[in-house]
Structures are given as structure tokens and as C-alpha cells.
Amino acid sequence: MAHLPNHLREQIEQHLGTAITRITPVGGGDINQAARLETGGDVFFLKWHAAPPRGMFAAEADGLRRIAATQTVRVPHVIAQGDTWLLLEWLPIGRRTAAAAKRLGEALAALHRHTAAHYGLEHDNYIGLTPQINHPETDWVRFWREHRLRPQMRLAAERGRMPAHRRRALERLIARLDEWLPRTPPASLLHGDLWGGNWVALEDGTPALIDPAVYHGDRETDIAFTHLFGGFPAAFYDAYTAAWPLPPDADARRDLYNLYHLLNHLNLFGEAYGASVDHILARYVGG
């Protein structure tokens, strides 16, 4: 676990207007370093990166504020940010229970009812360390094709992870997206990176979301990603469905939406995710 650099400590103390009295390293995931900071009477969560992509923490702070503004689901309050760090409210984490998962399903459905006139966002942000293009569109198929799948395909080609057979299959799938995706689903406010590690339950049982990659799009994308790596019990899906059922053919699109995340994992972590990408491509367009 990396030591908190002195210059970073000084910046944060200047923002807080008080001295940090204790620093306790905590898990920061695959990308960032993280620590619990204590002052005279307050506790904070700090994440930092030695050389983050430009605007990464500003984009995350913006996403947290957007979700918080809906007053639908708990997220950590943004305290301050810098180019290389983000200071958040410390959330007292408890045990994830079926009751907390039920409340999360209800809250996510409420979040998704906050819609916009366009798909995307006013600015780009990041999915992990990968730039996420959010150029606004009024056609969801075009958005998914041009701003989700194609950028990941180009990045994979640059990194030598797009062999000819994979590229050909992905091009065929992209050309046929309108056979499976709706043109104008509600442009819901999405968490955008909703895998099982990005929801927690607080000590009082309140569910909370962390690490968003927000944009407006088909709400099925958030639900699809919850299935990819697990971590969401039946109570979550039952509550979401009771609040706002998905279309009956949503399962047929799930892998098309998860393909984006699998391509991103291929680009971030390597060929270990290649077989999963190829499996989805084979399902829809053959080998």
C-alpha cells in the first residue's frame, strides 16, 4: 500500500483548513490508492492516483453529484478534489443483506426514472482508466455503436488485442445492432459501472453506490452489468422489477450491453477476457 505523499497531504489539509491526525490505508481497487483520513473530529475517504488520465477525478465527482441530486440512492458526498485526488465523505460500511439489496433495487429504479432528451452526457468521462465517449445522440443504436463499441474496438486494435477474426465478427455485430437494440428507449441516468463491487450497505442498512461512470442511456445496460460478475441477490432484481419491469425481451440484449464492459476489461487487463468477448460475438453473428 503506497504512502500518502507529503505534497498531497498538504493540499488536502489546506482544503480542509485543519491538520490530518491519522492516515489508515484501505483498499482502493485495481486503479487507485486509498486511505481513511482523520482530523480532529471528522473522518474522510481519500483516493488518489500518481498520474491519472486528465479530468478523471473531476468526472467522478460530477457523477456522484448528479446521482446525489436525484435524491434516489445514497452516494458518498464529495468534499473536495484535485487533479490527482478525490476526497469523499467516509461511509460506515456494514453487512450487505437481502433487505439492503431490496432497497437498492427500488432506489435504482427511481434513479433510472430521471431521464434526459439525449443519450450520453455534456462531457466525456471514464470507465476505469478508459475514456468513455458521451457525445450526445438522439438515436440509441447509433450511440451504442459509435460511442461504446467502436472506441473499444479501436483501442483493442491499438493494443494488439483485436485479431482479424474478432475484428470481423465485431464489425458484423456492429452493422446489425439495429436488429436487437431499441432506437429510443428512455434516456435514464445510469450509474454506468454497476458491478457487484460498486454497491455497499451502510451500518444502518442503507444501500449506497460508489465509483460511477454516469451517462444517460438504456437502463437495461445497468441491469445487464449486474449479471456479468454477480454480487446482486434475487431481492435486488425482484424489487427493481416490482418498481419498473424491464421489457420482456431484455434478456436477449444483455450480452450486447455487457460486450462493452468485456471489451473494456480486455483492453485494461488483457486476453483473459478475450474468450468471453468471442463467445458473445459467436452467439450473435457466428465465429
Residues with active-site annotation: 193
173 in Cβ contact with 23 (< 8 Å): no
Query: How, if at all, do strands 125-127 and 130-132 pair?
Result: antiparallel
Quote the cell numbers at residue 86. Answer: 478525490
In the chain the first and final C-alpha atoms are separated, in Å, by: 43
For 144, residues 6+ apart whose C-beta sits below 8 A from its C-beta are 177, 181, 217, 256, 257, 260
199 in Cβ contact with 209 (< 8 Å): yes
- Positive or negative, the CA dihedral 32, 35, 40, 42 is positive
18 in Cβ contact with 10 (< 8 Å): no
Half-sphere exposure of 113 toward its Cβ, with a 13 Å CA cutoff?
14
Bridge partners for 36 per DSSP: 24, 45
Distances (CA, A) of 15 to 42, 57, 153: 14, 16, 41
Alpha helices per DSSP H over 37-194:
56-70, 98-112, 140-144, 150-158, 164-175
Residue 45: name the closest of 59, 25, 30, 63 by CA.
Answer: 25
Q: Give residue 211's identity as a one-letter amino acid code.
A: D
Q: Which of the 8 DSSP states describes residue 114? A: -
